[in-house]
């Protein structure tokens, strides 16, 4: 959803464009004539309607204007963009369709209006119409980059991963032609991981492995392919091999420990090698208290984790946090026997689970978007692999 500041910015951009147009008209004393004054008066009226949030009247005034010079055209684009950013997509569509219908537009202006209309369709979720317009726009050299970028987005949203791969490759080529650096993310590897997961859901092992091989063949890779491989091994009764890959994934991306540990613990339980997990957790390097916190968070989230090393990490995590330690009476841990200690830890983790499950457990490092479940692509900024688990427990809700 657009923020209030986005509305304000879009509004300011529109007002700046409209005022620029009006001042240009009034300041142009050499060519002052009645039609331009009429034009300016229409603009003042339209602008007034926009400022008073009478959007329908504003659209009516602007689309009724008979003639448009370049500055008036820019104002129309600003108005359309303002409506789209405010979520008033139907009005943006009316403004842009009105522009496209004008026979006096140059080919470049028509393309610009079509690109704006295609963006409206994209915002409205009318993906078929947006796709067909962007495909046509890709034939125009000025709009090829924008067209391919938007098509990638459409194929991501519609989960058409094969087309997303092809379009992304075409986009890299188009960027290289203009000496623009390719995007520095492993999004293509994620497209292949998505296809691998789809194939595995349909129990097509051969296709799943073929897609994983593709994911791992590019120079921008993702730890996700290791995790998908491990999940497949885990599902095919090879928990020992799966555990090995989960450990490799943690080594490659220690900040995913909260996500991977429940899977690793399950693999060790199935393989009957719980002692190995204890040794592994005990030897994990501590990173500014983050490792203990991540193991503790995984133990809180997954009640099936009974590993003594993980529960010990949870105890240390609670005791090292002054508020949590005070709240649960962490000093009791030293005064009770082992059975009582485990009983207290389990009560504490049940209580903590009740607190954290209702709150976002994951946050995007790029835009701050927070969510309840782990996602590989941020729904807020659409970046891949930017979401990471939150490894602290706030007792006071921020909402």
Q: Which is nearer to Zn ion, 71 or 385 (CB)?
A: 385
CA distance 327 to 301: 20
Q: How far is the CB of 375 from Zn ion (least distance, A)?
A: 10
Residue 145 or 381 with smaller CB distance to Zn ion? 381
Instruction: Give the Å distances, CA to CA, from 116 to 30, 82, 122, 134, 150.
Output: 34, 11, 10, 10, 11
Judged by beta carbon, residue 134 or residue 362, the one nearer Zn ion is 362
Eight-class DSSP state of 29: -
341 or 383: CB nearest Zn ion: 383
Based on CB atoms, which residue is closest to Zn ion, 174 or 367?
Answer: 367
C-alpha 267/C-alpha 226 separation (Å) is 15
Q: Name the minimum Å distance from CB 385 to Zn ion.
A: 11
Contacts with Zn ion by CB under 5 A lie at: 364, 366-367, 369, 378, 380-381
Shortest separation between residue 177's beta carbon and Zn ion, angstroms: 29
Q: How far is the CB of 358 from Zn ion (least distance, A)?
A: 22
Shortest spacing between CB 184 and Zn ion, in angstroms: 16
| Structural tokens at position 59 | 């659209």
Judged by beta carbon, residue 53 or residue 366, the one nearer Zn ion is: 366
Residues of 381-397 as b/e, b for ≥16 C-beta within 10 angstroms?
Answer: ebbbbbbbbbbebeeee
Rg (CA), the chain: 28
Q: List, in order, residues 6 or more apart from 167 with CB less than 8 Å away.
A: 148, 151, 152, 155
Residue 29 CB contacts under 8 Å (≥ 6 apart), including other chains = none
Min CB(89)–Zn ion separation in Å = 22
Please provide the distance, in angstroms rounded to a whole number, between the alpha carbons at the two ends of the chain.
Answer: 17
Place of tokens 């039609």: 35
Q: Which is nearer to Zn ion, 126 or 367 (CB)?
A: 367
DSSP 371: E
Alpha-carbon distances of 398 from 20, 122, 389, 394, 395, rounded to whole Å: 42, 33, 17, 8, 9
Which C-beta is closer to Zn ion: that of 87 or that of 380? 380
Q: Which is nearer to Zn ion, 348 or 364 (CB)?
A: 364
Contacts 24+ apart (CB under 8 A), 321-326: 321/393, 323/395, 324/393, 324/395
Q: How far is the CB of 365 from Zn ion (least distance, A)?
A: 8
Report in angstroms how near the CB of residue 381 gets to Zn ion at its nearest.
3
Q: How far is the CB of 137 from Zn ion (least distance, A)?
A: 27
Q: Are 321 and 278 in contact (CB under 8 A)?
A: no
Separation between Cα atoms, residue 177 and residue 264, nearest integer Å? 45
* Residue 78 contacts residue 28 (beta carbons within 8 Å): no
Task: Give the shortest CB-187-to-Zn ion separation in angstroms.
Answer: 13
Under a CB-based contact definition with an 8 Å cutoff, are residues 360 and 368 in contact? no
For Zn ion, the closer of residues 83 and 369 by Cβ is 369
Which residue, 126 or 381, has its beta carbon nearer to Zn ion?
A: 381
Say how far apart CA 73 and CA 121 lie, in whole Å.
Answer: 20
Q: Tell me the closest approach of the beta carbon of residue 18 to Zn ion, in angstroms.
A: 32
Q: Looking at the chain, which runs of residues are DSSP E strands?
A: 362-364, 370-371, 387-389
């Amino acid at each position: 959803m657009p923020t209030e500041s986005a509305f304000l910015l879009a509004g300011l951009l529109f007002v700046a464009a409209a005022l620029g147009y009006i001042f240009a008209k009034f300041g142009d004393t050499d060519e002052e004539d009645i039609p331009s004054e009429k034009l300016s008066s229409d603009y003042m009226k339209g602008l007034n309607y926009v400022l008073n949030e009478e959007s329908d009247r504003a659209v009516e005034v602007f689309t009724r204007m008979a003639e448009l010079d370049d500055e008036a055209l820019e104002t129309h684009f600003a108005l359309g963009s303002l409506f789209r950013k405010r979520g008033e997509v139907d009005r943006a569509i009316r403004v842009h369709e009105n522009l496209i219908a004008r026979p006096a537009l140059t080919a470049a202006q028509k393309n610009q209006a079509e690109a704006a209309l295609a963006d409206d369709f994209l915002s409205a979720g009318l993906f078929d119409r947006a796709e067909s317009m962007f495909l046509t726009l890709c034939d125009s050299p000025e709009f090829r980059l924008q067209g391919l970028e938007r098509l990638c987005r459409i194929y991501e949203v519609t989960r058409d991963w094969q087309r997303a791969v092809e379009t992304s490759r075409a986009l890299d080529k188009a960027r290289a032609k203009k000496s623009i650096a390719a995007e520095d993310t492993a999004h293509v590897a994620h497209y292949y991981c998505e296809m691998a997961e789809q194939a595995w859901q349909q129990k097509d092992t051969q296709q799943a492995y073929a897609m994983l091989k593709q994911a791992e063949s590019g120079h921008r890779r993702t730890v996700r392919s290791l995790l998908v491989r491990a999940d497949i091994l885990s599902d095919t009764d090879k928990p020992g091999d799966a555990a090995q890959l989960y450990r490799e994934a943690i080594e490659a991306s220690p900040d995913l420990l909260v996500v991977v540990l429940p899977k690793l613990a399950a693999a060790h339980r199935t393989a009957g090698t719980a002692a190995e997990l204890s040794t592994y957790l005990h030897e994990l390097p501590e990173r500014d208290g983050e490792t203990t916190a991540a193991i503790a968070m995984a133990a809180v989230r997954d009640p099936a984790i009974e590993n003594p090393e993980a529960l010990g990490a949870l105890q240390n995590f609670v005791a090292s946090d002054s508020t949590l330690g005070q709240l649960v009476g962490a000093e009791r841990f030293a005064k009770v026997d082992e059975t009582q200690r485990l009983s207290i830890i389990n009560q504490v983790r049940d209580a903590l689970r009740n607190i954290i499950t209702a709150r976002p457990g994951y946050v995007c490092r790029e835009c701050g978007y927070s969510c309840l479940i782990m996602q590989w692509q941020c729904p807020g900024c659409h970046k891949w692999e930017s979401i990471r688990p939150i490894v602290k427990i706030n007792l006071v809700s921020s909402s």
